[in-house]
Structure 1
Amino acid sequence: MLLAILFLCFAAVFGGMPGKAEANTDALGLNAEAAILLDAKTGKIVYEKNADAVLGVASMAKMMTEYIVLEAINDKKISWDQKVKINEYVHKLSAAPDLSNVGLTQGEEYTVKELYQAMAIHSGNAATVALAEVISGTEQNFVTLMNEKAAELGLKDYKFVNSSGLNNSSLLGNHPAGNPDEENVMSARSTATLAFRLINDYPEVLETASKAELEFRDGRKYKNFNFMVPGLIYEYPGLDGLKTGSTDFAGYCFTATAEKNGQRFISVVMKTSSMDERFSESRKVLDYGFNNFTKEELVKGNYQVKNTKSLPIVKGKEDKVKIHSDKPIEMVIKNGEKENYTPVLVLDKDKLNKDGELTAPVKKGDKVGYLTIESKTDDGMGFLTEEGAKKVQVDVVAAENVEKANWFALSMRGIGGFFGDLWGSVSSSVKGWF
């Protein structure tokens, strides 16, 4: 009895103490299993919740198919006006009940552009499979390419088992990879990485993703499932992409991107409970970004670091050269926190001798290192990719020319140095006598 009372007291005292999970509470109180928000230019992360949890992505997986199609167009492996004949499987899949589709007639030819628009605007699953077959011959081969491309793009947590994002059980007895009832999965961080690469490598993706509806050749108009596109019921100013998704396994999820006053954000919300909720939670995340973060100039161009405004030079007509940054540094930061950032100079050791000196000649504009930014109150979120982090680094260069001294001047310096060393040695010896 006493032991039970002690246990209850212990539970009362310590049970209410915050654990590790509670210490990392969600500042926005999102009704989503995972989420992330980042600056679309640099990939600077400004908010995240369970960003590394691996979850179903449903039709957000089509962003990978979009990337591969746009890459193939760019590399001239396929063309927008290329004709694609619809086979029996793709036709039957386009007519499957309860799936998002644009009807595709067996034996009829559609252009790559028509199929791409059906996929990107109305999330057409059969159109996605048709595109996968055009690029790789079979969807199975295409799924291998998807996983290879994911690794190439720097995604960390992912597994693609089909091109569309459906559950394999919905593919009329086909499952290109994985188990018969498996789905594509990614973390919010990996999903954001894919979206970041997609809109930066192929910004034209937004031209299609931003359309409120698709007018197809069958005479019908198909709504964009991204109801936050201006003109639809949850419209959000400046929102022009990117991809929704929903299955029983994934719940309702959404990768969004919006731009206001020159600032673009990318948000991902995963596993919400309804269509309405995925949009309301995305709105909450985007509002947080636009209302609380601003791009600031943290370092001006031609900036000189205190105590390192110049570098010493050997064999030059001058014994030092002024250095400065060649461009300003801008970064998206939380409002009112500009004073928390300080510039950090990193010199290129390969340009310096063992004594930290440059060797003449030095030309104006020669790179001698780079300048980056360090936070005094690091939030631990950092950047989505290493390439993004480099976008807030600028070169530090020589601000002037320093020519190499001629042989006579170098000889005189050598002689002067010799006698200087000799006189120093004699002086030390004389002092030692007394």
Structure 2
Amino acid sequence: MALAVLAAPALARSARAGAHAVAGSVRHAQVKPIVKLKAKPRVRLAKRKDVSGRKAASRHRASAPRQVTLAALRSSAVLILDPAAHKVLYQKNADAVMPIASLTKLMTALVVIGAGQDLGEMLTVSDADVDRLKYSSSRLKVGTRLTRSGMLHIALMSSENRAASALGRHYPGGTPALVRAMNAKARELGMGRTRFVEPTGLSSLNVSTPEDLAKLVLAAQREPLIRRYSTDRDHTIAQGRQSTRYRNSNRLIASPGWQIGTQKTGYISEAGRCMVLHAKVKGRAVVMVFLDSQGKFSRASDANQVRAWLVRARR
């Protein structure tokens, strides 16, 4: 900022007096940084004790949390759907074809239940049910006998691979016939980018998209047995003289903030961590699909972020 100079008339009686008159006539303007000028109103607003100031500050704080996005989600592909309104609320790579791991078991259960087989029939775990693709561990021993209902229960709740394999072997026509039925059911549901090659999800060739999986979740939600088994917190089975307690593979089931109707989790290295949910948030049904989430707890974290986002949106 320039300094303004006002010159007094040259009426001095001597050179010294004239010099003093000119020097006394100069006014110096003060220059203040722009940053300080902007900072002052904020400080006064925070400290102001009058009612209008408190209300203004309160409105500012209340509006800030609404500026939330889902950019921090760690899943590579996501779909959030309002099925009642047939409206996509959020999507990221929703048409990407990806391995789906044990989400496969939802279709396995849907087809087995739809076949009308006797749920009380005893099925035996055999050596053929041992995983020789990923060499994953299992708590279900070879030789254990469970009802078809029991196999469905631990396959859906705790993602027991040997149980899903046994269900396939005891399907009319065996596992190949079950896989054909699973692919036929996918076509019937309009899952055009989905393919199954086996009933457990251990193969990375079992693929789908978030859009297709949302259709599978809606179909599974209509089956009471799938709703019940997939959301049980724990279940104990007898293996000879010993008992084995299974817990739900989805940590959100134990969370009091969630109201989940159907769920399934999955993991193989090619698929990352996956999860599908049919839940209610603030009284509204919502389908959530998360594929290829990186990190042990990332899929649950993503779901919690989406739930918080939906809650804020309903205020």
With normalisation by structure 1, the TM-score equals: 0.52
1:208 to 219, 229, 234: 229
Runs in 1 of length 4+ with deviation above 6 angstroms?
none
2:136 to 72, 94, 98: 98
Unmatched runs of 5 consecutive residues or more in structure 1? 1-25, 168-181, 294-334, 336-434
Judge conservation of contact 1:46–1:289 (CA < 8 Å) in 2.
Answer: no
Judge conservation of contact 2:69–2:309 (CA < 8 Å) in 1.
Answer: no
Match of 1:222 in 2: 246
Change beyond 3 A, Cα 1:221–1:85: closer
Match of 1:198 in 2: 220
Judge conservation of contact 2:154–2:235 (CA < 8 Å) in 1.
Answer: yes
- Matched residues in 2 for 1:50 and 1:196: separation? 20
* Matched-pair identity in %: 24
**Matches of residues 15-414 of structure 1 in structure 2 within 5 Å?**
27-29=69-71, 30-72=73-115, 77-90=116-129, 92-93=130-131, 98-99=136-137, 101-106=138-143, 108-167=144-203, 182-199=204-221, 201-218=222-239, 219-230=243-254, 236-293=257-314
Describe the superposition over 1:208-237 as per-residue Cα deviations: whole angstroms up to 9, x where unpaired: 111111211131211211111025xxx642
Unmatched runs of 5 consecutive residues or more in structure 2? 1-67
Change beyond 3 A, Cα 1:152–1:281: same
Letter of the structure 2 residue corresponding to residue 190 of structure 1: D
Letter of the structure 1 residue corresponding to residue 186 of structure 2: A
Describe the superposition over 1:106-155 as per-residue Cα deviations: whole angstroms up to 9, x where unpaired: 2x532011101110111011110111122233212211111111001111
Describe the superposition over 1:173-226 as per-residue Cα deviations: whole angstroms up to 9, x where unpaired: xxxxxxxxx421111111111101211x31442211111112111312112111
SS of corresponding position for 1:67: helix
Higher share in strand: 1
Q: How many residues align?
A: 243
- Matched residues in 2 for 1:51 and 1:79: separation? 37
Describe the superposition over 1:28-59 as per-residue Cα deviations: whole angstroms up to 9, x where unpaired: 11221110111244542211111001111100
- Matched residues in 1 for 2:311 and 2:199: separation? 33
Match of 1:378 in 2: none
Over aligned residues, Cα RMSD in angstroms? Answer: 2.2
Displacement after TM superposition at 1:158 (Å): 1.1
- Matched residues in 1 for 2:123 and 2:151: separation? 9
Query: Greater Rg, structure 1 or structure 2?
Result: 2
- Matched residues in 2 for 1:225 and 1:262: separation? 25
